[in-house]
Amino acid sequence: MESVRKIIVDSRYFVAGDASAGTYELPEIVEIHGTQALYLEQMSLMNTWFSVDETNNQFYLIEWRYGLQGNNFQPRIITIPAAPYDINSFAAVLQAQLNGADKSISGHYVVSRTSTDPATGVTSVALAQNFSIVLTDSPNGVNELFFPVPEKYLRDKSWYANYWQYWLNQNPPAKPTYNVDNPRSICNVLEFPWKHDTWGEPAPPANFGKVMSSSFVDLRRVHAIYLHSLDIGNKTSIAPQGIRTCIAVIPVTAGYGGMTVWLGNSNTNDFIEPATRSLKRLSFELRTARGDLINLQGGHWTCVFAIGPRPV
């Protein structure tokens, strides 16, 4: 039998799991000799993941109400429904969720698209990719402000204990809580720059306001696909979060419904060292930089590995 020079993987033929994390079984055992290595030649897939799914559907904010009725900080978590949003539908859903029954203030949130590009100005509303959240209609004699919490704070155990949990304890029952190691925040799509890293007691007013302007709203969510495998990577790479099973990073340039096609480079040193020299069952995972599995919502992918000489 002639030797195998390429291994073609198609997630439609996984024998276990799904396209996000599954196992592919080769029809026969493929031997990789000691002088050989694997090269990722190409990978292609449709961008079928949602801009918001179960891995990033939480929007965190703190509502601050002070004045004639006292001084109160209320942490709040808003759940954004999973969907492949465009910029307008995302703004509409965010506004509706902000004005939900769980808000602790009397004012009304208004979410609108804005442009920060002075070259385009007010005529560029159709191209605006930033959000502005304005808190309006607060009662007379009552001051109401809010603060969208950035991911930097959400993952800080000290900040969580000293501020988030502290404020929850002042407003029993003590909820909503969250997992500091994995807050599932919307910050990889929508984030609002903070003003001060130094927090006072109970909080610096500079971080709160009635108007908050976001950075660029990027609904792609997945900017690069981290292809992982326990079987053919030999743990010779290191990715964010310290994960050693990543074998390739595939850049994503198109949004939902677009196509991602990656062709291998010509660098002979960009090879994959097999964990075993006899290949039969291969496990694969598609993950984000955060380490979250990418839910392809029923979509599939293909890739081609070439077997070639290992550089000396």
What's the total number of domains in the chain?
Answer: 2
pLDDT in tens, 208-255: 999 999 988 999 899 999 999 988 877 778 888 788 899 999 999 999
Tell me whether residue 35 is in a domain: yes
19 is in which domain, residue-wise?
6-49+222-309
Tokens found for residue 42: 């190409």
**Mean pLDDT score, 74-97:** 96
Secondary structure, 3-state, the chain: CCCCCEEEEEHHHCCEECCCEEEEEEEEEEECCCCEEEEEEEEEEECCCCCECCCCCEEEEEEEEEECCEEEEEEEEEECCCECCCHHHHHHHHHHHHCCCCCCCCCEEEEEEECCCCCCHHHHHHHCCEEEEEEECCCCCEEEEEEECCHHHHCCHHHHHHHHHHHHHHCCCCCCCCCCCCCCEHHHCCCCCCCCCCCCCCCCHHHCECEEECCCCCCCCCCEEEEECCCCCCCCCCCHHHCCCEEEEEECCCCCCCEEEEECCCCCCCCECCCCCEEEEEEEEEECCCCCECCCCCCCEEEEEEEEECCC
Same domain, 277 and 296: yes
Same domain, 206 and 249: no
pLDDT band at 200 (very low <50, low <70, confident <90, very high): low
Lowest mean pLDDT among 4-18, 117-131, 147-161, 241-255: 117-131
- Is the pLDDT at 280 greater than 70, yes or no? yes
Domain closes at, from 178, 213, 248: 213
Tell me whether residue 11 is in a domain: yes
Residues 6+ apart with CB under 8 A from 228: 243, 245, 246, 247, 284, 285, 286, 287
d(C-alpha 307, C-alpha 71), whole Å: 67
- Is the pLDDT at 308 greater than 80, yes or no? yes
Tell me whether residue 90 is in a domain: yes
Same domain, 205 and 141: yes
pLDDT in tens, 104-123: 999 999 999 987 554 545 54
> pLDDT over 70 for what percent of the chain?
91
Lowest mean pLDDT among 42-51, 86-95, 269-278: 269-278
Same domain, 297 and 259: yes
- For residue 115, give Cα distances in angstroms to 59, 92, 132, 170, 278: 22, 17, 9, 38, 56
Same domain, 72 and 203: yes
Tokens found for residue 191: 């984030």
Tell me whether residue 188 is in a domain: yes
Domain closes at, from 172, 192, 213: 213
d(C-alpha 17, C-alpha 24), whole Å: 9
Tell me whether residue 1 is in a domain: no
pLDDT of 127? 60
Tell me whether residue 74 is in a domain: yes
pTM of the model: 0.87
Same domain, 149 and 277: no
Tell me whether residue 244 is in a domain: yes
To the nearest 10°, the Cα dihedral for 149, 217, 43, 11? 60
pLDDT in tens, 161-197: 999 999 999 887 768 999 999 999 999 899 998 776 6
Domain closes at, from 189, 213, 237: 213
Q: Specify the higher pLDDT residue, 128 or 104.
A: 104
pLDDT of 125? 54
Same domain, 194 and 234: no
Question: Of 114, 130, 109, which Cα lies nearest the Cα of 190?
Answer: 130
Same domain, 116 and 164: yes
Segment 232-238 long-range contacts (CB within 8 Å, at least 24 positions apart): 232/38, 232/272, 232/274, 232/275, 232/279, 232/282, 232/305, 233/272, 233/273, 233/275, 234/272, 234/273, 234/274, 234/275, 235/275, 236/273
Tell me whether residue 31 is in a domain: yes
d(C-alpha 274, C-alpha 202), whole Å: 54
pLDDT of 199? 63
Same domain, 83 and 31: no
Same domain, 24 and 113: no
Same domain, 209 and 272: no
pLDDT of 170? 87
49 with 40: CB under 8 angstroms?
no
pLDDT of 123? 46
Same domain, 197 and 131: yes
pLDDT of 116? 59
CATH number of the domain within which 294 lies: 2.60.120
